[in-house]
Each structure stands twice: as C-alpha cells, then as structure tokens.
Amino acid sequence: ARVYHLARITLVAVQSCCLQGHSLAQCLQGHSLAQCLQGHSLVQCSVSCRPMESFVSHSQGPTVLEYPEPESPEISPQEIPGLVGQLSPGLDELGNDQPPAWTSHYREKGWTLSSLFPALVWMPSYVRCIRGRDTEADKSAMGLLTYSLKGDVISGLTVGCMLVPQCLAFALLAGLPLQTGFYSSFGPLVVYGLFGTFRQVQPGPAALMSMLTGQALDGMGLLTGESRMAGAALLSWGVGVSSVLLGMMRFGFIVDFMSHSVMNSFCSAAGVTIATSQLKHMLGIKMPRKEYWWQTVSYLVSHISEAKGYTCALGFSLLATLLALKQWKTAGNADTRQKHPIWRRLPVDAKSTGFRILKLIADLSSLLAVLIGWLWGFAYRQAGIDSVALVGNIESAGFQFGLPDSGFVSSVKIDQFIVPALVMTVVGYIETVAVGAKFASKARYEYDSNQELIALGLSNIGGAVMFGYPTTGSFSRTAVGAMFGATSLMSVLMASLVVLLAVYCITPVIELLPLSALAPLIIQGAISVINIHEFQVARRASLSEFLVMLATFVVSLALDVKYGLLMGFVLSVLKTMNELANPNLAVFGQLEGTTFRDIRNFPNARQLSNAVVIRMDARLNFTNSRKLKEFAVRAVQIREAGGNKVEFLVIDAKAINHVDLTGCETLESLAEALKSHGQQLVIANLKGPVSKCLHQAGVPESLRKLGGHLCLSMEAALAVVEGTSQAVEEDQELSELVRRVTMAKQIQYATSSPHVFCQGRSPFQDGNPILSPTRVSV
C-alpha cells in the first residue's frame, strides 16, 4: 500500500514514459516497478526483474492509469518531501535507471566557503596525508600527486632562490624601482597559496606581465620612480578587481575565446620586444624608454658606437652560459647526449652524481648568473673599472603597505588605465591556466577555472596594497618546482619565505649588482617564448591561420602588443565567421549498404539513380542558409543536365547540430522550389535538438504539404527514395525522438528540484509539460 502511494507521488514529481507514452512508476529504492503491457521500453526492477503489471493498463490513446485501491492510511502533505527524498528518480531519456548525479553535468556548482577558500579543504587533507591518516576521499582528490612535505619544502626553497633574482630583473624590465620586484613576490604568493587550486603553479612577476606593465605606465606618462610605483599598484588593483568580478560571474571560459595561434604569435612578438628592450643594458648604452619596438631598434643601431666593452663581455658571457645550460638541460636522453659533439663530454647518465650536480646548476642557473655577475662586478671595481652600471641604491627598509594617493588616482585617465588592466587580466589568466592545466592533467587532479580567476584577482590585490605590480603564473618556476617535488601550494608559501628573508638580509648586496647581470635573465626568458616552429606548421597546415598569426606578430611589433592581441582576436573572429558562412558542402555517393562518402574523395562512390545526396558540415543558420540552398539547387541541376531524372534531394543532416529560424525557412523554401519541379526534399540523420527545433517551427507539417520527408536515419531516407516507407512511420519515429528530448529536460529539471510538485495534475497532462525545462543534450 505504501508503495502504491509512493508511486502516485513519483508520477507527479518525476514523470517517465515508455516509447508510446505510457506512464511508469518506481519503488522506494528507485527500481522500476511498472512496465507497459505491450513491452514498450522495458523498465524493470533491478532486484526481481519482474514487472508489476497490475499498476498499468495499456491504452492506444492518451495515458490511462488504473490504480488498485489498497487499504492504507493517508499520507499527509508533510510526509511527501521526506518520502520523495528516499527515491532515486534519475532516469535517462529512455526511462532506464540512472543515478541522479548525471544531472550535475548540466549544472554549475554553487559557491561555498570551501570552494571560495580551497585551503579549508586541502590543508586538513595535507596534514592527514603527511601523518599517514589520509582517507579514500583524500587519495581521490590528490590524484597521482601524493602530498609530500619534503618535496614542498625543497621545491619552495629552490623556487624562492630562483625568484629573488628574477623579480629584480622583471622590475627592471617594467621600468620600476627594483624593490618593487620584492613587493610583487611576497603578498601575491601568500594570497595565491590560500585561494588557488593549481597545486604546482608558482605565481609572481613574469616577463610578459612586466612588459605590459611598463608599456601601460609609459602610456600614462609616468616618468619618476615614485609615480611609476603608484601607477603599477593602481594597475594591480584594476587587474585584481576585474579578475575577481569575472570569476564570480563564472567567466573562466574566456580562455576558450583566444586561439592558440593568436597567443603563440602574441607571445613571440612580446618575446622579441622584451629581448630588444634589454640590449641597452647588455651593451651599456644609456637610452630613454621608447614607445615602439622599431624605435628601440633604430636608437640602438644609431648609437652602437657607445657600447662599452666591459659591459658587453659581462652581459653576453652570462647570456651564453644561461643558454648553454638550458640547451644541455633539454638535450634529451643519454643516447641523444652521446651523439652530441659537446654534451657527450659531460656526464650523460642521469643517475650519476656528476649529472645530478650539473642538473641542479642548470635548474638554479638564474641564481648562478647573479652570483657570477656580482663577483665579476666586484672584480671590475677592484681593478678600477667603473664603466659598468650597477643597480644602485635600493630605497627600502622592508615592505610597504598602503594605497595610491587619491590625487594621483584622479589624475590618471580612465582609458589609459582600464584597457591595459583588462588586457593584463586576460593575458595573466590565460598564461596561468596554460601553465597549471598542463601539470594538473599530468597529475590527474582537479582545478576550478573560475576559482583561479578569483585567486589571481585576490593575489594581485594583495600585491597592490604592498605597491607591487600585476603578477601571474610563471612557466619556468612552475616547471622547476614540479621537478623538485612540489605537491601542493605549500611550496608557494615556502618560496614567499625566501623572498621575505631576501628583503631584510641581502638588499645591501644587491645594490652592488651590475645591471648587465640581470638583463641576461630577462633575455633568456624572452627567447624561450619565441616559437618560430608554430609559424612553420601554420603555413603548411592552414594559410588563413598563418596570415592571422603573421598579422598579430607584425602589429604587435609595429604598434603595441595589446593592439596585436586585439588584432589577432578580431581576425580570428572574422575567420571563424567566414568558415561558418562558407561551410563544407559535398555531394555524396553510395559505397555499400548505407555508407555514403564525398564523391570528391571517393570517385568510385555510386550516386543514386533518382536522387541527389548532399551533406553540410556546419550549424544551419542565417550565415550559411543561402549557400546550402544554392548548392542543393545547383547539384540537382547538374545531375539532371547529365541526363538523370532526379526525384529526390536527400540532405544528410548528421553534421548539423543546430538550426535557427532562418534555416527552417530555408528548408521550407528549398522544398517548395523542388516541388515546383516535381521533386521532393528528404532530410535524414536528424539529431534530437535539431528535430525538436524543426517540430517547434512547424517544418514537418510544411514539408508534408510539399511532399517532403524527415527521417531519423539514412536507412529510412533510402526507404523513402525507393518507395518502401510510409510517412506516418517516419512521423512516429521523429515524434518519439522529440518526446525523448523533452522528457530528458523534464527529468533533469525534476531531479534538480525534487520537492517541486504539480498540484492535481501530471507534468504531462494534456500533452503540455508544465515543468520549466532547462538545457540538456541528447
């Protein structure tokens, strides 16, 4: 009796039907208890596998339910939510038992305290793991990368030693006082360590963001060190706030709108610009900051006679050392090293002590270059050579906290601030995701792209209150950290401690460091992002893609990298629109059975004697509807010109996953044009959403009046062409498909809202669903 009442509740809350529309019910455990007496879409109890046929009576008309009236107490309305909570109403579009978790694929997770503050989750798990008390949930969340305190400490200290010289070099690149590099390397790391979800990403100053910051400050007309620090902090505020807002609005998908080719050419142009800007320190030429890349090149060429030999010797020697160590590090396995004329003279066995020592030197090459540069500069000073420019006085007694002065903020033009901030927001996020996703995929752990936007935003805000400039994830430091065993964001917190010690301990030593010892670090990083191979691949694979990359590269060098990025984005959109407006249209021939192929690629494919089969590989919408109609009419005319009597035009809609109203009208217009010549339109291989859209637009009725047909498969279309199929059967099949799509929407809504009930009527009463559908794909 209780099952009977629960069945009635279930039919109101979650309606499931067999293929002919007959209602089904479920038991307390979610197992199906009813089955259509005619055997349609069998849904049985997974325990007994025996249908309870007394619940349902078959009817050829609308659904008719006959419930035997058992003797049982009434179930009060207050009991309903509790009883329904015991059910597992998740059914797929065919009515089969399925866990309700499937609906989570179509819904975004809501914000929770643990999702906004991931440290609440991973830190307790981290402690349990290092104590050997990790749970199955902890192991599942860790993926293939098990937490290791030893690995995090070693990698954090290593990355910190790498970050100290790099942050000074990147501050130099941005045209900021060198202590700004320290300010940008402590607060952002601490904040990201608490809010980030990429366990191995090492945030902080990076070459690309430093260059964009310098260009933005130049655009604001800021020349003094104090004003540039205030401007950099303001930019960091702008980047932080915009990142947080985008993350809260779940705009993590913006990374998908920037093509790989555009980003590659953008980064290559940025690498060339960065490397060129540091040549003045390598050559010892005093040069004011230039707005454009070509102005920098022109000035250096015209003043090459002012280059200082001692400075060149120091700078280019360190650069050669850095590049050589990197080449050795990426030389490959032992066999490859044995064949190299130089590397074979060095240790090649990865397990040998010499190889490990050399590998450590290569990983810490930035720190090594700074140490050599400092000693080299010290030797110059002892020899009385004072032509080598030094870093000079660093006016810092530690970290500073505050906000840019209100008077300064009001003096900055809004367009000079907003545009660079938005560009750096997008570029910084893309760079971080590109770095982090690679390592997350390798270690099989999950990350949240929207939370990453929030984490980057908060870390930049944390840097702004310390007068730092915008930061992002660093590929080189992340790679080194991962290699030294980083397993969590604890390594990021360890790296911040190294920066903290450097600020209060080694500032006087840094003041005696030659500028030409920092410039090679920047140039090496810039060279690493220049990828000529991608241009070569694009030229061979896609001329249009190559032209987009070339235009992005040229504009970035000629004007500004942000204009180059904008140019690449616009050209990519235009290219995509052009491809959508000019889809691949092909005439198909039959090979064997119902296998059809493009006659351009399969000349032996046989065309049907009384029909033309074409296919369109795109969404059918207003941009390409005219092209489809013109191609179809032309294909029929060419076939008839060859002496064949064409009675049918078959459109294989297998590659069409959406149709808009213009597309629907085009199909009706095409059917009308064909009918005027005694021909019929047959549309085959319809997908569920397309079929539903056509039915809602009334296309089946219009086609039926014009002698056309809609078919689920090519087999059905061939049956129509051969005259062995009935239109009624086709309509029943399509109606079934449309019902499945609608049913999936109802089930998905009901399972996401299990306590929503319809008073006094079925969700499908009178054939009209009264539950609001949400998006789902079938």
pLDDT in tens, 202-245: 999 998 899 999 999 998 988 888 899 999 999 999 999 999 99
Mean pLDDT of 163-191: 92
Asked whether residue 175 falls in the same domain as residue 319, the answer is: yes
Sort strands 709-710 and 680-684 into parallel, antiparallel or unpaired. Answer: parallel
Asked whether residue 328 falls in the same domain as residue 465, the answer is: yes
- In which element (H, E) is residue 588 found? strand 584-590
Asked whether residue 525 falls in the same domain as residue 423, the answer is: yes
Top-confidence residue, 756 or 99: 99
> Sign of the C-alpha dihedral, residues 498, 500, 501, 505?
positive
Asked whether residue 510 falls in the same domain as residue 649, the answer is: no
How far apart, in whole angstroms, are the C-alpha atoms of residue 402 and residue 203?
A: 22
Among 75-89, 234-248, 315-329, 651-665, the minimum mean pLDDT is found in 75-89
Q: Is 299 exposed, middle or buried (0-12, 13-18, 19+ CB in 10 A)?
A: middle
Q: Name the pLDDT band for 675 (thresholds 50, 70, 90).
A: very high
pLDDT at 339 exceeding the cut of 80:
yes
Predicted pLDDT of residue 725:
58
Spell 322-333 as b/e; 16+ CB within 10 A means b: bbebbebeebee
720 in Cβ contact with 647 (< 8 Å) = no
For residue 457, the tally of other CB atoms under 10 A from its CB is 25
Give the list of residues 6+ apart from residue 717 with CB closer than 8 angstroms, or none: 650, 682, 684, 685, 709, 711
Residue 482's nearest CA partner among 445, 454, 448, 520 is 445
CA of 253: how far to CAs of 111, 419, 591, 764, in Å?
17, 20, 42, 36
Q: Name the pLDDT band for 409 (thresholds 50, 70, 90).
A: confident
Helix (H/G/I), strand (E/B), else coil: 322: helix
Top-confidence residue, 247 or 70: 247
Tokens of 140: 């599942």
pLDDT at 661 exceeding the cut of 80:
yes
509 in Cβ contact with 374 (< 8 Å) = yes
Can you list the pairs that 40-45 forms with residues at least 24 positions away whose Cβ atoms lie under 8 Å?
41/17, 41/94, 41/95, 43/16, 43/18, 43/95, 43/96, 43/97
Among 239-248, 494-503, 521-530, 538-547, the minimum mean pLDDT is found in 521-530
> Sign of the C-alpha dihedral, residues 335, 336, 342, 348?
negative
For residue 134, the tally of other CB atoms under 10 A from its CB is 18
Query: Bridge-partner residues for 611, per DSSP?
Result: 648
Predicted pLDDT of residue 397:
63
Tokens of 19: 């293929």
**pLDDT tens, position by position, 70-124:** 444 454 555 544 444 444 444 444 344 444 444 554 455 666 888 888 999 999 9
How far apart, in whole angstroms, are the C-alpha atoms of residue 598 and residue 585?
A: 9
pLDDT at 20 exceeding the cut of 60:
no
pLDDT, mean over the chain: 80
3-state secondary structure 411-448: HCCHHHHHHHHHHHHHHHHHHHHHHHHHHHHHHCCCCC
Mean pLDDT of 51-74: 40
568 in Cβ contact with 266 (< 8 Å) = yes
Asked whether residue 600 falls in the same domain as residue 697, the answer is: yes
| Pure H helices in 412-560 | 414-443, 449-464, 475-483, 490-505, 507-510, 515-528, 532-541, 543-558
The listed range with the strongest mean pLDDT (36-40, 73-77, 189-193, 376-380) is 189-193
pLDDT at 23 exceeding the cut of 80:
no
How many alpha carbons lie under 13 Å from residue 55 in its C-beta half-sphere? 23
Sort strands 472-474 and 680-684 into parallel, antiparallel or unpaired. Answer: unpaired
In degrees, rounded to 5, the angle at the alpha carbon of residue 173 between the alpha carbons of residues 284 and 256 is 145
Asked whether residue 592 falls in the same domain as residue 521, the answer is: no
Residue 701's nearest CA partner among 733, 663, 727 is 727
Asked whether residue 71 falls in the same domain as residue 203, the answer is: no
pLDDT at 13 exceeding the cut of 70:
no
Q: Is residue 112 part of a domain?
A: no
pLDDT at 592 exceeding the cut of 90:
no
Mean pLDDT of 729-751: 52
Top-confidence residue, 712 or 47: 712
Q: Is residue 532 part of a domain?
A: yes
How far apart, in whole angstroms, are the C-alpha atoms of residue 753 and residue 101?
A: 13
Give the list of residues 6+ apart from residue 497 with CB closer than 8 angstroms, or none: 156, 160
How far apart, in whole angstroms, are the C-alpha atoms of residue 122 and residue 117?
A: 10
Predicted pLDDT of residue 736:
60
Asked whether residue 103 falls in the same domain as residue 153, the answer is: no
Q: Is residue 37 part of a domain?
A: yes
Predicted pLDDT of residue 766:
39
Asked whether residue 525 falls in the same domain as residue 619, the answer is: no
> Sign of the C-alpha dihedral, residues 153, 158, 161, 167?
negative
Q: What percent of the chain has pLDDT over 70?
A: 78
Measured in degrees and rounded to the nearest 5, phi and psi for residue 155 equal: -65, -40
Supply the range of the domain harboring residue 635: 583-725
Helix (H/G/I), strand (E/B), else coil: 21: coil
Query: Bridge-partner residues for 32, per DSSP?
Result: 26
Q: Is 61 exposed, middle or buried (0-12, 13-18, 19+ CB in 10 A)?
A: exposed
Q: Taking the model in full, what pTM does it have?
A: 0.70
How far apart, in whole angstroms, are the C-alpha atoms of residue 448 and residue 307?
A: 50
**pLDDT tens, position by position, 458-511:** 999 999 999 999 999 998 899 888 888 899 999 999 999 999 998 888 888 888
356 in Cβ contact with 403 (< 8 Å) = no
Asked whether residue 658 falls in the same domain as residue 695, the answer is: yes
Q: Is residue 264 part of a domain?
A: yes
Asked whether residue 552 falls in the same domain as residue 589, the answer is: no
For residue 645, the tally of other CB atoms under 10 A from its CB is 10
Query: Bridge-partner residues for 23, per DSSP?
Result: 17
Q: Is residue 98 part of a domain?
A: yes
- In which element (H, E) is residue 615 found? strand 611-617
Asked whether residue 542 falls in the same domain as residue 600, the answer is: no
DSSP string, 103-153: GGGGSPPPP-HHHHSTHHHHHHHHHHHHTT---HHHHHHHTT----HHHHH
Domain end, chosen from 558, 591, 610, is at: 558
Q: Is residue 117 part of a domain?
A: no
How far apart, in whole angstroms, are the C-alpha atoms of residue 192 and residue 203?
A: 7
Q: Is residue 119 part of a domain?
A: no
Q: Is 613 exposed, middle or buried (0-12, 13-18, 19+ CB in 10 A)?
A: buried
Predicted pLDDT of residue 691:
87
Q: Is 670 exposed, middle or buried (0-12, 13-18, 19+ CB in 10 A)?
A: buried
How far apart, in whole angstroms, are the C-alpha atoms of residue 188 and residue 455?
A: 9
CATH value at residue 634: 3.30.750.24
Mean pLDDT of 326-353: 88
**pLDDT tens, position by position, 272-310:** 998 999 999 999 999 888 888 999 999 999 999 999 999
Residue 650's nearest CA partner among 578, 587, 734 is 587
Predicted pLDDT of residue 194:
94
Mean pLDDT of 567-586: 90
How far apart, in whole angstroms, are the C-alpha atoms of residue 150 and residue 490?
A: 11
Structural domain count of the chain: 3
Among 177-181, 619-623, 697-701, 747-751, the minimum mean pLDDT is found in 747-751
pLDDT at 346 exceeding the cut of 60:
yes
In degrees, rounded to 5, the angle at the alpha carbon of residue 97 between the alpha carbons of residues 94 and 100 is 105
Q: Name the pLDDT band for 667 (thresholds 50, 70, 90).
A: very high
How far apart, in whole angstroms, are the C-alpha atoms of residue 20 and residue 25?
A: 15
- In which element (H, E) is residue 596 found? strand 596-598
Residue 143's nearest CA partner among 151, 156, 134, 152 is 134
> Sign of the C-alpha dihedral, residues 126, 130, 135, 137?
positive
560 in Cβ contact with 207 (< 8 Å) = no
Q: Is residue 572 part of a domain?
A: no
Predicted pLDDT of residue 92:
43
Predicted pLDDT of residue 734:
58
- In which element (H, E) is residue 81 found? helix 80-84
